[in-house]
């Protein structure tokens, strides 16, 4: 099956570069381009793409507002939003996830990583870059009413391998990167992660990251403050 992608970025040169890259893949085709958030919403309704690659800072309507509108439309529930931006700050990450984005990666990402990101979220997974993951964790830990670290009862139901997978997810690694590190297939990693999410009642990968730090399965390391 060919994945249909809509590009939303106010910089024509970047859209052209992303289009060239995405169209080079046998299983991906770009069906449209939008120069602002309002146009992105209109074209998403018109074209019904599988994935919208969305910039945050755009005129008329920014990418966060556009993501909110798209994700709130019941007719577009099958469309996934991949935020691709240079601004991987805690506020943007939190807003994007609240808006319903399925992925958040930086524009410095490599070509193959971008292709994998589109495939990953089209397949129903949530994808956070390491920087976005650090931003999410930093924001969570900085929240005044954030609960103290504790181990939820459900943690005891995880197998040793599932606990290991959750800890790796909390570092911002994708399923493919975990698979490469653990010498496993991406399908095996995904199965472990999905089972862990089910056992821990995590609605998505972002919540799984927070649970990992909340429970003590993962610990913030020095020098990992998110970029601003």
Q: What CATH number should be reported for the domain holding residue 161?
A: 1.10.10.10
**Residues 78 and 30 occupy one common structural domain:** yes
Other beta carbons within 10 Å of 204: 14
Do 119 and 146 fall into the same domain?
Answer: no
Could you report the per-residue pLDDT of 117-143, keeping only the tens digit for each?
Answer: 899 888 877 777 666 666 666 666 555
Q: How far apart are CA 82 and CA 168, in angstroms?
A: 21
Q: Residue with structure tokens 């935020």?
A: 83
Residue range of the domain that includes 174: 139-215
Strand partners, 106: 85
Tell me whether strands 51-54 and 80-85 are parallel, antiparallel or unpaired. parallel
Residue 223 placed within a domain: no
The answer to whether position 59 is within a domain reads yes
* Coil/strand/helix, residue 152: coil
Residue 203 lies in a domain: yes
Residue 63 has pLDDT above 90, yes or no: yes
Q: What is the largest CA-CA distance in the chain?
A: 51
The total domain count for the chain is: 2
Q: How does residue 228 score in pLDDT terms, banded at 50, 70 and 90?
A: very low
- Residues 76, 183, single domain; the answer is no
Q: Based on the domain organization, do 92 and 173 belong to the same domain?
A: no
3 pLDDT above the threshold of 50? yes
Tokens of 186: 């991406």
Q: What is the pLDDT of residue 227?
A: 35
Which of 124, 152, 172 delimits the end of a domain?
A: 124
Structure tokens at 31: 């069906």
Strand partners, 30: 5
Q: Are residues 87 and 115 in the same domain?
A: yes
Cα separation, 97 vs 39, whole angstroms: 21
Among 24-33, 59-68, 130-139, 193-202, the range scoring the smallest mean pLDDT is 130-139
Would the pTM of this model clear 0.75, i.e. be above it?
no
Residue 93 near residue 136, CB atoms below 8 Å: yes
CA distance 167 to 208: 9
Q: What is the pLDDT of residue 37?
A: 95
Question: Look-up: residue for tokens 């859209």?
Answer: 15
User: Residue 102 falls within a domain, yes or no?
Assistant: yes
Same domain, 104 and 151: no
Helical (H) or strand (E) element with 33: strand 28-34
Res. 52: pLDDT tops 60: yes
Among 33-42, 101-110, 133-142, top mean pLDDT goes to: 33-42
Domain annotation covers residue 130: no
Are 9 and 82 members of one domain?
Answer: yes
Asked if 105 and 16 sit in the same domain, the reply is: yes
The average pLDDT across 23-51 equals 96
Q: Is residue 39 part of a domain?
A: yes
> What is the DSSP code (8-state) at residue 62?
-
State whether 61 and 87 are in the same domain. yes
Residue 224 lies in a domain: no
d(CA 158, CA 112): 32
Using the 3D structure, point to which of 83, 100, 124 is the last residue of a domain.
124
> Residues 33-38: what's their mean pLDDT?
96
Q: Which of 124, 155, 177 lies at the terminal end of a domain, its last residue?
A: 124
Tell me the torsion sign for CA atoms 111, 40, 132, 172.
negative
Describe the chain by its helix, strand, coil percentages, rounded to 5: 50, 15, 35
Least confident segment among 70-74, 169-173, 185-189, 194-198: 169-173
């Amino acid at each position: 099956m060919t994945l249909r992608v809509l590009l939303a970025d106010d910089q024509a040169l970047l859209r052209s570069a992303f289009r060239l890259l995405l169209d080079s893949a046998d299983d991906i085709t770009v069906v449209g381009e939008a120069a602002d958030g309002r146009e992105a919403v209109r074209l998403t309704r018109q074209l019904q793409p599988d994935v919208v690659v969305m910039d945050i800072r755009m005129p008329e309507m920014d990418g966060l507002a556009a993501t909110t509108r798209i994700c709130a439309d019941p007719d577009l529930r099958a469309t996934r939003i991949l935020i691709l931006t240079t601004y991987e700050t805690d506020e943007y990450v939190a807003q994007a996830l609240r808006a319903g984005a399925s992925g958040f990666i930086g524009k410095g990402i490599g070509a193959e990583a971008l292709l994998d990101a589109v495939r990953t979220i089209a397949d129903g997974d949530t994808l956070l870059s390491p920087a976005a993951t650090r931003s999410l964790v930093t924001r969570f830990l900085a929240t005044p009413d954030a609960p103290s670290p504790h181990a939820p009862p459900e943690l005891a139901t995880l197998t040793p391998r599932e606990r290991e997978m959750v800890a790796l997810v909390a570092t911002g690694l994708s399923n493919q990167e975990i698979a490469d590190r653990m010498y496993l297939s991406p399908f095996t990693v995904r199965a472990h992660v999905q089972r862990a999410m089910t056992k821990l009642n995590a609605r998505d990968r972002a919540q799984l990251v927070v649970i990992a730090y909340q429970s003590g399965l993962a610990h913030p390391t020095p020098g990992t403050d998110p970029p601003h």
